[in-house]
Amino acid sequence: MTKPGDKEWLPYEKHLKRLPKKRVASGVFLLDGNGDVLLVKPEYKDYWILPGGVVELNETPIDGLRRELQEELGLVFSSFVPVAVQYSRRSNEVADVIHFLFTGTINAQQIKNIHLQLDELEEHKLVPLRDLPKYCKSRFVRFWPQIYEAIIDKKLIYLENIENIERDVA
């Protein structure tokens, strides 16, 4: 029994359920020997994206990236270099997203061995790194100069992509 003035503590499990939810995703700039980057075309989007995807519960961003690359491309990679962390909040989505972006290398044999997960991806292609904005969605392109510089300079950057949330006032 609690005495007057004593605080009643919320069980930890209930506290966790009250916390805000955020999605975590990982993507990778897989560069070939010419400096071209591998893009994939999802069957559920009308634009190209970097290989990667949502990080699952109890998975690190790198482990999630490795799993996604194996599932979606049939390839196994061992090392990546972090290039950017991007926080996104959009008015049309349920949860905020934290994107971990990495760089890695892909060789001709790996490209030849790509086996797309056909229920997820339609095709893949290599494009010059500088041309990436022509293929990807605008909210990614917005930060392209900073990301490109970070890849070239081999530095880690932090980005925020916050769309204003407009609400109707009754």
Tokens of 158: 């932090």
**Contact predicate 26/65, CB 8 Å:** yes
Tokens of 89: 């909040």
The alpha carbon of residue 90 and the mean position of all alpha carbons in its chain are separated, in whole angstroms, by 15
Q: What predicted TM-score, i.e. pTM, was given to this entire model?
A: 0.83
Residue spans of the domains in the chain: they are: 22-151
N-terminal to C-terminal alpha carbon distance within the chain? 47
Q: Considering Cα of 136, then 138, then 139, then 142, what sign does the dihedral take?
A: positive
Query: Over the stretch 123-168, which tens digit does the pLDDT of each residue have?
Result: 999 999 888 888 887 666 778 888 889 998 999 999 987 654 333 3
Q: Considering Cα of 10, then 16, then 18, then 19, what sign does the dihedral take?
A: positive
How is domain 22-151 classified at the CATH fold level? Answer: Nucleoside Triphosphate Pyrophosphohydrolase (3.90.79)
